[in-house]
Amino acid sequence: MELNSIKPSEGSKHARRRVGRGIGSGLGKTAGRGHKGQKSRSGGYHKVGFEGGQMPLQRRLPKRGFKSIQLQYNAELTLAQLAALDLPEVDLLGLKQAGLVSQLTKRVKVIKTGEITRAVTLRGISVSAAAKQAIEAAGGALV
């Protein structure tokens, strides 16, 4: 095989359709665009979603909220879950291994739902004001 003998395989290339080149070509006069109307004119078309002047669907439907992508990196932990966890020192890695938060989680916050009676030390975990009081009352600490 030589470089000058390379060519595309048979039937893989098609001649481009040449429109508006006379009656004999089968695509003369209107060039496959039909007769009259917006779509027959050069440059005449409409934007995506245009419904001929009727109020388009994306404007008929109500707007609805927003959900931040960052939420997947945040997690909540209750005092009840914290009490059930038998670790004297709790950090993000320990929570992931226990299966209380997802592996994607980067930030955890403890909220006051439930009770805690034993002392727990929290490392690198944020806490709500009420949960902080409950943890410190049980003899725990925040580091």
* Whole-prediction pTM: 0.55
Domain borders along the chain are 19-61, 69-142
Share of the chain above pLDDT 70, in %: 100
Task: Read off the pLDDT band of 59 (50, 70, 90).
Answer: very high
Return phi, psi of residue 54, to 5°: -65, 150
Q: Does domain 69-142 have CATH number 3.100.10.10?
A: yes
Alpha-carbon gap, residue 43 to 57, rounded angstroms: 24
Q: How confident is the model at residue 131 (pLDDT cuts 50, 70, 90)?
A: very high
Question: For 81-98, how does the pLDDT look when each residue is reduced to its tens digit (9 = 90+)?
Answer: 999 988 889 999 999 999
Distance in angstroms (rounded) separating the CA atoms of residues 71 and 68: 6
User: Residue 24: helix, strand or coil by DSSP?
Assistant: helix
